[in-house]
Every structure is written in structure tokens, then in C-alpha cells.
Chains A and B, each alone.
Chain A
């Protein structure tokens, strides 16, 4: 975790972080799904769309928890993340991101993101001075761990090719002469 990250002390502050984390996660998966769909990689597009739905559901759960309180309005650059952007949205230049990305690569990217999300919640559950924040963060860390386990099971239980995709005989990136 970022040494400079400030400790989250109140429930509204924590829930504001959780809403932003899940919203940005959903936004990122939607962008990836759209990009894959545009590039006719329908299988991976569908997978990212499913992951987007998981994040939206999670965001909805957090918003329900926060429905009877006023959350602080935190500027996008003032969140206490340990990386540029929120934890589930920070690896934007992952080497696997390509129009030919395989479902295996996509699931690994998702595991990477969900693990960061889990680590963020786990850090809050360890460090916050407020017992209610620690309890809520602990619950969310467990949920994120369930996501990680689910994704790992998907990789283990399905017959996903770990090989690189076939050569594209008409690649979009052939420099013109």
C-alpha cells in the first residue's frame, strides 16, 4: 500500500471510496468490453461485460449501505488510493491489452484488478481506527476475495487456451509505406 495514503477514519469516507472504486471498476470493464466489441473480439467482450455487471452490482450494494448518510464529495485526485486511479482500474497499460486478447488473458487481468481491490479493503480493515469501518472493510475484502476465487475457478475449470492467438494475416497495425 502507498506509504503516503492517509488512513480512512469514518464510515462515510470509507463508503465514498468504496462507491468510487466499484464505479470506476465498472467503467473500466465497460470501456474494455466496448473496445473488444468494436474489434470483433466478442468472446472477451462478453466476459468484460459480465465483469462490469459484477462491479455494478457491488456498487449498488455499497450505495444501499450508504443510502441513509451523506457521503463526502471527494475530488478525483484526493482519494487515498495507492496507485494512479482506483485499485481496480489502475493497470491501463497492461501488456495483454490487445484487440486479440484471449479469455485467459482477460481473466488474469481481472484477477489482477480484483486482487488490488481486495488489498485496498484489507488495508483499511487493518488500519482504520474506527471499528465499524474495519468491520465493513473486512466484509468487502472477503467479497473481493470471493471474486478472485471465482475468477481463478473459471480459469481452472474451463478449457481456456493459454496460447497466443493465431497470427492476424491482415493486422490493423501494418505501417503504410
Chain B
């Protein structure tokens, strides 16, 4: 169990207090270090106690995040982070539920869960660290990889398939909070994460997070990312125009709307004796 902090007697937690002490196995220069830093800063800013937070993930480099955060955590099954997180939020609505993963885990294997998590609008934050590659399995094309990327032996002529556009899909599926950040700007990303966690409903934060090992050219993202040229909108039609017209490198809060939040009523639960009687072998 994570240690309680931020009690009246204890000093306010700092970002480093949320680190577990487990050394990340990420490659030096990996963008995910910036995302980790932003998550801890956001938790410190919000003064959340460690035992009030649960970090859920699937499989992949970025999905190792729960091990590096000193809160409740669950490193789940590939693509199923949102399913596990939804179950947790349904049972424990008092917890701040954060979900972390990558583009392969979230948009390919977990693509279906992504759609329905958006439309269900449960109160949780989904952080996708997108490096447009499957890094943990040594560099295959992912759903967000550009169709002409031909550096993997599996796709020597590129995938030839248009890239998955996460923010557009999230909007179409009914997400109520859509933002894009850059792990090379941990301070800006922290602000987005704070807003996402404070948002009531499903908040999707698309994080551009370079992979220096399999996509070294992504170091150029530092020059390519730019603030979104329009103000945040709560109008879905305006957001659609904004998101469809952007180059995929615009950062900021793109869309936020106050939509009904789905949360099951935990009333009338059966007691354990009754359940056990039903399942007697």
C-alpha cells in the first residue's frame, strides 16, 4: 500500500515524493521520462495523497509507468488498461484514476476500449504516450505510424495505411476533454494533466513522446511542436474543424465540454454469502 502523505501533520508532497524509487528501464533520451516527470508534478500540484491515486496501464514501454509512481497501480493486459480502469472507477469512484499507455496498446489492441471509454465518459484521465512505433518489441509500425515509414523489416515499403488520428477519433467517439502535449515540455504537459485530472469526465491527453531508439528522427519534434492556433472550444463542430485542420503537432487543450458522466450506482449489491452460495461447486 502506498504511504499516506499530505496529512495535516506532514509537509506538502513534492514531485519526487511520488516516485517509487524503481529505476526506469527506458532508453536514455526517451520521451517518457518527461511524461513521468509531468505526472509527478501534476500530482504534487494537486496535492493528491498517494493512496487516493491509482495508475492503470496495459503493455508497452510507456505502460511501465505504474511501477515508477508511488501510488496504487496495476500493470494490466495488453490493450485492456481502460477496461481495468473502468472497473476500478466503477467500484471505487473515490479514487483518482489515471490510465497510461502507448499508441499500440491504446489504439490498436485497445482501440475498441478507447472508443467506448470516450463515449462512456467515466471520470478518469487517459494519458497516451505516442511515439508512433512499437518500441518494446523492437520497432514495428503502430497505428499512428506514417504510411511511408519503411524502417521496419515487417513493413519494408511502409504500411501504406493512413495513420490513426487519436484526437479526431476521441472527438467522434464522444470524449469530453481532448488535449495534446509534448513530453519535451514537461511544464506545459503538467498544466494539461492538472486540467485533465480536474475535469469531470473522461479526459484524453495525447502526448507526443519521441522514441530515440527506433525513431531517432523524432528528436526534430522539438522544433515541430507548436501551440494550438485557436482557443479551446466546447463546440464539437468547431473542435472537429480545428483538429482535422491541424498538423498533428499542435499542443494545448483542444476541446472541453461538460457532458454527462457515467458512474454506476453501487447500491443493492449482493452479499458475499449469497454470491458464494450461487457458485458452490
Tell me the A residues contacting B by CB distance below 8 Å.
23, 27, 31-32, 34-39, 75-77, 79, 81, 84-85, 92-95, 97-99, 101, 172-177
Contacts and interface: CB of A to CB of B under 8 A. Distances in A.
Interface in B183-220: 183-188, 190-191, 194, 210, 212-214, 219
Contacts of A75: 45, 191, 194
B138 A174 contact: yes
Contacts of A76: 41, 45, 186-187, 190-191
A85 B182 CA distance: 12
Given A77-B187, A92-B33, 6 more contacts: A38-B23, A38-B25, A76-B45, A97-B29, A101-B28, A173-B214
Interface string B117-158: 000000000000000000001111000000000011110000
A110 to B, nearest CB: 14
A175 B138 contact: yes
24 contacts: A27-B16, A31-B37, A35-B33, A75-B194, A76-B186, A76-B191, A77-B187, A77-B188, A84-B182, A93-B184, A93-B212, A93-B219, A93-B222, A97-B28, A97-B29, A99-B27, A99-B28, A101-B28, A172-B138, A173-B213, A173-B214, A176-B153, A177-B153, A177-B154
Interface of B: 14-16, 23-31, 33-34, 37, 41, 45, 137-140, 151-154, 182-188, 190-191, 194, 210, 212-214, 219, 221-222
B190 A35 contact: no
Q: Is the interface of A mostly helix, strand, loop or mixed?
A: loop
Residue from A34, A93, A97, A177 having most chain B Cβ neighbours under 10 A: A93
Given A93-B210, A95-B219, A85 B138 contact: no
A92 B187 CA distance: 13
A89 to B, nearest CB: 8
B188 A34 contact: no
A59 B29 CA distance: 24
A31 B152 contact: no
B24 A31 contact: yes
Nearest to B139: A175
A32 B23 CA distance: 10
Contacts of B212: 93, 97-98
Contacts of B213: 172-173
Nearest to B29: A97
A46 to B, nearest CB: 15
A101 B27 CA distance: 12
B24 A34 contact: yes
A75 B194 CA distance: 10
Contacts of B31: 92-93
A157 to B, nearest CB: 26
Contacts of A98: 28-29, 212
A173 B138 contact: yes
A69 to B, nearest CB: 16
A92 B29 CA distance: 6
Contacts of B139: 173, 175-176
Contacts of B45: 75-76
